[in-house]
Amino acid sequence: MNNKNESVLIIGAGLCGSLLALRLAQRGYKVAVYESRPDLRKVAISAGRSINLALSDRGLKALRLCGVEEKARKICIPMKGRLMHDALGNTFASNYSGREGEFINSISRGDLNALLLNEAEKHKNVTIHFNQKCKKVDIENNIAFFIDEETNEEFSVTFDVIFGTDGAGSVLRKSYISERKFLFSYSQNYLNHGYKELEIPGDKNRNHQISKEYLHIWPRGDFMLIALPNMDGSFTVTLFLSYDEGEFNFNNLTSEETITKFFEQEFPDALALIPNIKEEFLNNPTGPLGTVKCAPWCYKNTLLLGDAAHAIVPFYGQGMNASFEDVFVLDEILNQGFEDWNSVFKAYQKARKKDTDAIADLAIDNFYEMRDHVANPLFKEKRKIEMDLEKHFPNQYFSKYSLVTFNEHIGYEEAMKKGRAQDKALLNLIADDTVQTHENMTKEELKTILELVIDQTNEILAKDSVAGLKI
Amino acid sequence: MNNKNESVLIIGAGLCGSLLALRLAQRGYKVAVYESRPDLRKVAISAGRSINLALSDRGLKALRLCGVEEKARKICIPMKGRLMHDALGNTFASNYSGREGEFINSISRGDLNALLLNEAEKHKNVTIHFNQKCKKVDIENNIAFFIDEETNEEFSVTFDVIFGTDGAGSVLRKSYISERKFLFSYSQNYLNHGYKELEIPGDKNRNHQISKEYLHIWPRGDFMLIALPNMDGSFTVTLFLSYDEGEFNFNNLTSEETITKFFEQEFPDALALIPNIKEEFLNNPTGPLGTVKCAPWCYKNTLLLGDAAHAIVPFYGQGMNASFEDVFVLDEILNQGFEDWNSVFKAYQKARKKDTDAIADLAIDNFYEMRDHVANPLFKEKRKIEMDLEKHFPNQYFSKYSLVTFNEHIGYEEAMKKGRAQDKALLNLIADDTVQTHENMTKEELKTILELVIDQTNEILAKDSVAGLKI
């Protein structure tokens, strides 16, 4: 593997595959990328399929490694917090961080993917082949079988090493299952909710009709609507709703009349901004929300990366960031001087899997947080205190959200454990009235709260440790 | 479904299928059972495949419902606790309960299955067909496709309702996946350990060579040996060991020399009792240890039951008990007067799934408890206190083990939540020296401990509730 003439196959030229191609090209490998879809730089992307995403510090860290951070930032729209809309049209804001300069970024999936493909193609040792659909992989002999989607011609290619960055429905992962060479732990778990994308267009001057500084949320307990800004003045709106439970659900919202009634009742302010609601609702697809975990991620000279290894639900805005961070972590392992690819892959899985398992669980937690908890008085009080703590003690307090999103030097698992304990501490301090707040808290008062939270968090972690007999 | 002329197909005549057939026959349905294997009452069962199991209160509750408890008890060997063997051959006992009359039972899988088949066959409205292997199920139209394993003839049968009690590799479950009629959440998770069965034979007089009153454990941290007594004086011994990690593992224990070395070093007292160790080790299969969860369990008039719906690892001795309890819970739902089978099945899943998810997780916890924690001083102290509390306050204290195993009137989920909180409370009280013990504790002293444990347990549950914003 230290022979840079070794040939590398990457299956899938999405966000993860493109960035991996770029990085391996920079490291000098001979890289071929095969993608089932047409070149997205030349054709329009179909409507209603997650056209924008939230790019944050973990993703930026990987882009920085590959020298493309600045280019990506040029197509970003910073979002400093959530803006909640209640059923009467009232709004309240909740920032993502109390520190200066901590925000997430709305970015177009297509534009970022195109940027990465362009950067990868600048390297002579990279070739990218579109419309080449992988059918299966012979994982014993490193042979991948393809069909050309334009000519229907079938062919196979042999490489020294094969990466599957082919997303949640990964063909390499399916080959791990079907070839039965080893015990393969695998899970696919769907929420009872699906999603549908709608659009708030820009105004006549291509300006945003609502603030572009926020990720907008219409939390309604059992369902919610969110909106992320695009560069052209529009917002991509996503409805998250049960397939079959509750008064309104995807299975019964089938007529223009019920769709209108639902939006008038639940989201009147959003409805006023979505002119094509009926057409979009009836024509855009309803997508499922699933989590995929599996192990092992590798067999011999093959490796799953990104969504192919760990697809997650979108509620923490970390799917793309986790996939980019995969490339970063793999790059670190490649620096460690292993003798062969399989050893690299095993070391990579060992270093990485606990963290992608954690972000999968955190993302599901956030589903409940966004649709429900954000409107809970106790939760709101907690977030208010956290903003104050982060503002006044920027080096001493990091909320769970900040640990996950803005502290890219620690892993997701560490962020989850510490963040959950801290949330539990603070919520209980508020619930039992140990901590009380008022307008204009002094720094001294906040310092007392900080010390209580740190103390209680440590006690929670210590007691959990004893309960796990890890002492 | 209230028409008792409706025809019921049960795929699989294992423990769960046989009991279900018996119960549905008692309720008056026309029941046909199709089993892929030969009639186990007429052929020998292959060696090395979990030939004995632990029957406890949840299983007995279901057998009682069907009027076969007493017959089953006649083939039971009561085990009142664990007997731990250290590497020097020293032993120490730890009972399962401090109350009188609480024990689990070693029972032969084959004998119990035969008993249930005999009881089912006494009903005229039951037919059982052996050597009929199910290939797939058309879940839309209630058609099951079979192959006769003796004649290789293929055929299909149509029934009003179809139950899949066909175990961890369920064909009905595979049909749920392959027919893609709905979003199917599914997981299969393997431990890194496998298992292999060995035998301690009875002595010349068919008496047990070690105490038959205990489940024997040789805990060694990363691996363990256990032994359960059989009626013929023998013990079935099971080694749980990693496939590929540690100095000794299944992948490298391939020669008589290394096998002997491993047992001499780790289990010298057991080795002395296993005369055919080399042959058995080399010839008996190494089995995987997997957990299967899925949802939904039903589609139209079809339902998964037992291992087909929720296969678990064997470390809580609850696999069979959970499957029997499935039949009990389904029977309760059938009493509720639903109009159609699909409503019954949905109500059954709603009532039952949280509990089978819980026992799956508890069983994995117990893997670590049995191979490692049982030898931990803190854990031993906890168990000692729990025995005293259960003895002196039999109506006020129930350990997690007792809640799961002997409290069949509460569900596994409730047992898990309460039991885990209680363990955490007690372990922390011991670890921080709030609770200290000595020989001959007085009832007053124990009462103080009981009150502390109850108080701390409630506090833990309350704080968890606040952390989940469930207030």
pLDDT in tens, B387-428: 999 999 999 999 999 999 999 999 999 999 999 999 999 999
CATH number at residue B233: 3.30.70
Dihedral of the alpha carbons of A182, B297, B362, B287, in degrees to the nearest 10:
-30
- In chain B, which residues have their Cβ closer than 8 Å to the Cβ of A469? 373, 376, 378-379, 427
Question: What's the pLDDT band for A91 if we cut at 50, 70, 90?
Answer: very high
Distance CA A375, CA A396 (A): 27
Query: B119 lies in a domain?
Result: yes
More confident residue, A4 or A212: A212
pLDDT in tens, B300-332: 999 999 999 999 999 999 999 999 999 999 999
Closest residue of chain A to B192, computed from CA coordinates = A183
Determine contact, residues B347/B338, Cβ cutoff 8 Å. Answer: yes
Specify whether B173 is located in the same domain as B196: no
Percentage of residues of chain B with pLDDT beyond 90: 92
| A391: pLDDT strictly greater than 70 | yes
Return the pLDDT at A439: 85
Determine contact, residues B25/B123, Cβ cutoff 8 Å. Answer: yes
The closest of B303, B342, B58 to B166, measured between CA atoms, is B303
Q: What contacts A36, CB < 8 A, 6 or more positions away? A: A12, A131, A132, A133, A134, A149, A166
| A50: pLDDT strictly greater than 80 | no
Percentage of residues of chain A with pLDDT beyond 90: 92
Query: A75 lies in a domain?
Result: no
Alpha helices in A214-340 (DSSP H): 256-266, 268-271, 277-283, 307-310, 319-334
Specify whether A314 is located in the same domain as A342: yes
- In chain A, which residues have their Cβ closer than 8 Å to the Cβ of B420? 467
Contacts across the A-B interface (CB distance below 8 Å): 73
Q: Long-range contacts made by residues B447-453, C-beta under 8 angstroms, separation at least 24? A: B447/B392, B447/B393, B449/B385, B449/B389, B450/B389, B450/B393, B450/B396, B450/B397, B452/B425, B453/B389, B453/B397, B453/B422, B453/B425, B453/B426, B453/B429
Q: How far does the CA of residue B222 sit from the closest CA of chain A (Å)?
A: 15
pLDDT in tens, A159-192: 999 999 999 999 999 999 999 899 999 999 999 9
Query: A92 lies in a domain?
Result: no
Q: What are phi and psi of A25, to 5 degrees?
A: -65, -45
Distance CA B343, CA A166 (A): 39
Q: Which of B189, B249, B313, B433 to mutate to test the interface with A (most CBs of A within 10 A)?
A: B189
Specify whether A300 is located in the same domain as A449: no
Return the pLDDT at B471: 61
Specify whether B13 is located in the same domain as B118: yes
Of B290, B420, B467, the CB nearest to A424: B467
pLDDT in tens, B210-220: 999 999 999 99
Which tokens go with B358? 């819980």
Specify whether B314 is located in the same domain as B423: no
Query: A277 lies in a domain?
Result: no
A187–B188 CB contact, under 8 Å: yes
Query: B82 lies in a domain?
Result: no
Rounded (5°) CA angle B174-B179-B183 = 90
Does an H or E element contain B68, and which? Answer: none
| B263: pLDDT strictly greater than 80 | yes
Q: Could you identify the residue written with the tokens 């029934």? A: B159
Specify whether B281 is located in the same domain as B315: no
Return the pLDDT at A373: 86
| A427: pLDDT strictly greater than 90 | yes
Q: What ipTM did this prediction achieve?
A: 0.91
What are the angstrom distances between the C-alpha of A462 and each of B153, B341, B417, B465? 63, 49, 19, 19
CATH number at residue A128: 3.50.50.60
- In chain A, which residues have their Cβ closer than 8 Å to the Cβ of B366? none
Of B243, B290, B424, the CB nearest to A463: B424
pLDDT in tens, B224-236: 999 999 999 999 9
- In chain B, which residues have their Cβ closer than 8 Å to the Cβ of A187? 185-189, 293
A467–B190 CB contact, under 8 Å: no
pLDDT in tens, A220-267: 999 999 999 999 999 999 999 999 999 999 999 999 999 999 999 999
Determine contact, residues B220/B239, Cβ cutoff 8 Å. Answer: no
| B3: pLDDT strictly greater than 90 | no
Specify whether A341 is located in the same domain as A389: no
- In chain A, which residues have their Cβ closer than 8 Å to the Cβ of B288? 183
B379–A290 CB contact, under 8 Å: no
Specify whether A62 is located in the same domain as A125: yes
Closest residue of chain B to A424, computed from CA coordinates = B467
A185–B188 CB contact, under 8 Å: yes
| Average pLDDT of the residues in A444-453 | 97
State how beta strands A30-34 and A126-129 pair: parallel
A469–B378 CB contact, under 8 Å: yes
Closest residue of chain B to A366, computed from CA coordinates = B468
Distance CA B348, CA A318 (A): 36
Which tokens go with A219? 């939390």
Domain coverage including residue A61: 7-46+54-67+104-187+290-367
Query: A18 lies in a domain?
Result: yes
Query: A316 lies in a domain?
Result: yes
Specify whether B32 is located in the same domain as B150: yes
pLDDT in tens, A373-386: 888 899 999 999 99
Specify whether A308 is located in the same domain as A438: no
| A52: pLDDT strictly greater than 90 | no
Question: What's the pLDDT band for A2 if we cut at 50, 70, 90?
Answer: low
A186–B188 CB contact, under 8 Å: yes
Return the pLDDT at A151: 97
- In chain A, which residues have their Cβ closer than 8 Å to the Cβ of B290? 183
Percentage of residues of chain A with pLDDT beyond 70: 98
Q: How far does the CA of residue A321 sit from the closest CA of chain B (Å)?
A: 25
Query: A269 lies in a domain?
Result: no
Closest residue of chain B to A464, computed from CA coordinates = B424
Question: What's the pLDDT band for B5 if we cut at 50, 70, 90?
Answer: confident
- In chain A, which residues have their Cβ closer than 8 Å to the Cβ of B187? 185-189, 293
- For chain B, what is the mean pLDDT? 95
Return the pLDDT at A248: 96
- In chain B, which residues have their Cβ closer than 8 Å to the Cβ of A464? 424
Domain count, chain A: 2
Given B367, B391, B419, the domain boundary residue is B367
DSSP class of B86: -
Given B288, B314, B343, the domain boundary residue is B288
| Average pLDDT of the residues in A114-125 | 98
Specify whether B337 is located in the same domain as B450: no
Given A309, A336, A367, the domain boundary residue is A367
- In chain A, which residues have their Cβ closer than 8 Å to the Cβ of B378? 466, 469, 471
Rounded (5°) CA angle A369-A375-A380 = 85
Return the pLDDT at A21: 98
Specify whether B167 is located in the same domain as B41: yes
Q: What contacts B170, CB < 8 A, 6 or more positions away? A: B11, B12, B164, B304, B307, B308, B309
Return the pLDDT at A170: 98
pLDDT in tens, B23-77: 999 999 999 999 999 999 998 766 556 688 999 999 999 999 999 999 999 999 9
Closest residue of chain B to A189, computed from CA coordinates = B185
| A45: pLDDT strictly greater than 90 | no
